[in-house]
Amino acid sequence: MVQKHYVTYNQIHKLCQHSATRILQDFRPNLMIAIGGGGYVPARILRSFLKQPGTPNIPMQGIGLSLYEDLGRDDPEEAPGTKVTRTQWLDLSSLEMTNLIGKNILIVDEVDDTRTTLEYAVRELEKDVKEVTQKLGRTGEKTNFYIFVLHNKDKPKKGRLPDDMIQEGRYLAAETVPDWWICYPWEATDIDEHDRLVAEAPTSTNGSA
């Protein structure tokens, strides 16, 4: 049986707060991309901690990515959770793609489980930026993608991130955990009971950041 790992809102708030220090120091993002719906909450919290006095908030765009299993499709030929479909992509009319060239772009999600969604997001975003970069002859400017997730599950991954992203330390998980079933608070039907389960859990599996 898979062990359940309950996390409170305040623990997630602190995970974002703690990671913001590293993100500000090493990543210095110019844009945040929240993978919806899971990335929405950490991205919103993180934005507060990335705000610098006297400067505007870091712009944030939401993208929607679903594994096929989330769509409730009944295709027996399709292994669940292996194919990604877009439900929303970057808005290039508001956010000119050329503005992304040479910038630091932080992709935010809640969990790195099989890595399938993250692989898709990075690959497609890099492809889009590369196209525009070459078209405009601005190949001298490097656009860097970074990843922030609340939890990375320590398990074999189906998806693969670019080697240079890993080597250059452009991947940050606030916590690395075993292959647990992570129970996020925004999925709790009884939030008081949810918090009680966290409080009663051994600290080794449910310590706050």
113 is catalytic: yes
What is the x/- site pattern for its own copies, positions 54-73, by CB under 8 A? xxxx-xxxx-x-----xxx-
Which residues make Cβ contacts (< 8 Å) with residue 192, sequence separation at least 6? none
Q: In angstroms, what is the minimal distance from the CB of 164 to its own copies? A: 28
Options 26, 70, 113, 164, the catalytic residue: 113
What is the x/- site pattern for its own copies, positions 95-114, by CB under 8 A? x-------------------
**What kind and span of H or E run contains 151?**
strand 144-153
Within 13 Å of residue 88, how many CA atoms lie on the same side as its CB?
Answer: 11
Nearer to its own copies, 89 or 180 (CB): 89
- For position 14 contacting its own copies by CB under 8 A, the verdict is yes
The CA-atom distances, in angstroms, between 166 and each of 18, 141, 169, 172 are: 20, 20, 5, 9
- For position 151 contacting its own copies by CB under 8 A, the verdict is no
Known catalytic residues? Answer: 113
